[in-house]
Chains A and B, each alone.
Chain A
Amino acid sequence: MLEVKSLEKSYEKDKPALTDISFDIKPGTFVAIIGPSGAGKTTILRSLNQLIKDDGGQILLDGHDIRTANKTELRKYRRQIGMVFQNYNLVERLTVIENVLHGRLGYKSTLAGVFGRYTQAEKEEAMSLLKKVGLENFALQRCSELSGGQKQRVGIARSLIQHPKVILCDEPIASLDPASAQNVMELLKDLTEEYNLICIANLHQINMAKKYADQIIGIRKGHLVFDENADMLSEDILKTLYDQDITKELE
């Protein structure tokens, strides 16, 4: 269970980026955060694993507040929270399997991590996850040789090997072609059910959000304006969310 209570953040004084954001997410739920560019979607997502330090509120993962954690505790929380990026953020020169194994670093001693010493079990798990995302034949290829969709699936495997409770996806399909985008969204949706995950994705594509998400959170100018089941998202709400009639652009 992830509970966010009255989250606040401002980058400049008197210009709040987030104001009083509160929502709950149950395990096994695929959540889409939608809203115009600059509304604060990325700020919310990155506050959830404290890559951005927010100014106030509570972020409770199974009842423990991530915000008050010290450095060592924060490492332990972060390894339970996977993250998938728009630009994949892989080490392009390393092989696919090395990038997947990076997801284990949070569990290793500093020295073992520095030298990249992984256990047999970890390597086997990496291979089985690559099989799951359909890349078992690419394990020893350099990531720079992969297509965008393949890179994103490596990114997803990297987050899964963390044994996460939560996966945060920052615009996971914004750089992908439509077919790869469908593919990645379906994968995320399936994994959410299979592993009983909380999967939170920032999306610009409202049709994708409607199609795949269980719950939709709408953000406008740093305020939460919508937090309901996906089928409750109406044209009226989209109008207030985006300040204009964009329903025509759907389909």
Chain B
Amino acid sequence: MQSPVKYLSRKGWHQTAIIAIIGGIYVFGSWILNFDNLNGLLAIPKAFAWLGVNFRPNANTMEYLPRILQKLIQTVLLAIASTVVAAIISIFVALLGSKVTGINGFVQTIVRGIASFFRNIPLVAWSMILLFSFKQSDFTGFLALLLMSIGYLIRAFMEIIEDEASETMLALKATGASYFQVIFQAVLPQILPSILSWILYMIENNVRDATLVGILTGTGIGFIFDIYYKSFRFDAAGMTVLAIIFVVIALEIISNQIRKVIL
């Protein structure tokens, strides 16, 4: 048996070694890439100063505001729509694929495969691929967000079902309840708060992602940001970014309030 003193000193030594290794990797990486740490650091304040000067909205920027707001609302609605549709699809697929409510091992593997396929293709790639088939339209953006959300939500919902519903499910099964009775009377009511919490998170996330998708698919708030930016109207681009930040923070506050009520 090892003495506690020896164990603790060894543990301390391990921690030091790990920190040294991480530091070493950084230094080695900088050397390979010819990255100048000092100048990089010094450039940060300058970069922010430039941002502050050029991207600051001014009095003239206000004329862009109605158009920005219109596109922003469109984008938020798109994010909500894609998340809700994704959630409805995901809940059924997750019920088929989870270990406790699933049909059999084969279906479970398939569902896990589908979820991981949708999740592991980057959003950017989805947008570009779908752009060819569905052209430059809101529907392309909707579809890209939908597929990505489905990938995440199936996985999350399956874990929620497995963590939270298995015990009540067992109890109702023991009363002689049928499969669908168990699903609707035990599983769904039990997991509802966690599911809603995930949907709210996904909506926040999708509003942010919708901006990027918009740049790529030429729709929504991302599209006008792209236009303003590329035509050197930096003040309007800055205004767009501020508007996005404002909406995302507002959504977060709202969804935290909703969570407080339902949980």
Taking beta carbons and an 8 Å cutoff, which residues of A are in contact with B? 49, 51, 74-79, 81-83, 85, 87, 89-94, 102-103, 105-108, 110, 113-116, 155, 158-159, 162, 168
Name the distance in Å between B50's Cβ and chain A's nearest Cβ: 53
Q: In this assembly, does B104 line the interface, its C-beta being within 8 Å of a C-beta of chain A?
A: no
Bound Cα distance A186, B107 (Å): 46
Bound Cα distance A179, B192 (Å): 34
Binds A, one of B14-22, B154-162, B175-183: B175-183
Bound Cα distance A174, B167 (Å): 16
Whether B181 and A105, one on each chain, are in contact in the complex, defined by CB atoms closer than 8 angstroms, is: yes
Name the distance in Å between A85's Cβ and chain B's nearest Cβ: 6
Whether A51 and B170, one on each chain, are in contact in the complex, defined by CB atoms closer than 8 angstroms, is: yes
Taking beta carbons and an 8 Å cutoff, which residues of B are in contact with A? 167-168, 170-178, 180-186, 189-190, 192-193
Name the distance in Å between B155's Cβ and chain A's nearest Cβ: 23
Name the distance in Å between B55's Cβ and chain A's nearest Cβ: 47
Closest to B165 in A: A91
CB-defined A-B contacts under 8 Å, sample of 12: A82-B174, A83-B175, A90-B168, A90-B171, A102-B175, A105-B172, A105-B175, A110-B178, A113-B178, A114-B185, A159-B175, A162-B176
Whether A105 and B170, one on each chain, are in contact in the complex, defined by CB atoms closer than 8 angstroms, is: no
Whether A106 and B175, one on each chain, are in contact in the complex, defined by CB atoms closer than 8 angstroms, is: yes
Bound Cα distance A168, B170 (Å): 13
Closest to B192 in A: A93
Closest to A113 in B: B181
Contact partner of A105 (CB less than 8 A), chosen from B167, B168, B177, B190, is: B177
Closest to A84 in B: B171
Closest to B184 in A: A114
Bound Cα distance A77, B186 (Å): 21
Name the distance in Å between B180's Cβ and chain A's nearest Cβ: 5
Bound Cα distance A48, B193 (Å): 34
Closest to A107 in B: B176
Closest to A80 in B: B176
Name the distance in Å between A33's Cβ and chain B's nearest Cβ: 17
Name the distance in Å between A167's Cβ and chain B's nearest Cβ: 11
Name the distance in Å between A44's Cβ and chain B's nearest Cβ: 15
Bound Cα distance A155, B174 (Å): 12
Closest to A112 in B: B181
Further pairs besides A91-B190, A114-B180: 12, Cβ < 8 Å:
A75-B177, A78-B173, A79-B176, A90-B168, A91-B189, A102-B177, A105-B178, A105-B185, A110-B180, A110-B181, A114-B181, A158-B171
Bound Cα distance A53, B183 (Å): 22
Closest to B191 in A: A93
Bound Cα distance A75, B181 (Å): 12
Whether B175 and A158, one on each chain, are in contact in the complex, defined by CB atoms closer than 8 angstroms, is: yes
CB-defined contacts of B176 to chain A, threshold 8 Å: 74-79, 105-107, 162
Whether A92 and B186, one on each chain, are in contact in the complex, defined by CB atoms closer than 8 angstroms, is: no
Name the distance in Å between B163's Cβ and chain A's nearest Cβ: 13
CB-defined contacts of B171 to chain A, threshold 8 Å: 83, 85, 89-90, 102, 155, 158
Q: A91-B185, A91-B189, A93-B190 are in contact. Are A75 and B178 (CB under 8 A)?
A: yes
CB-defined contacts of B186 to chain A, threshold 8 Å: 91, 102
CB-defined contacts of B170 to chain A, threshold 8 Å: 51, 85, 89
CB-defined contacts of A90 to chain B, threshold 8 Å: 168, 171
Name the distance in Å between A116's Cβ and chain B's nearest Cβ: 6
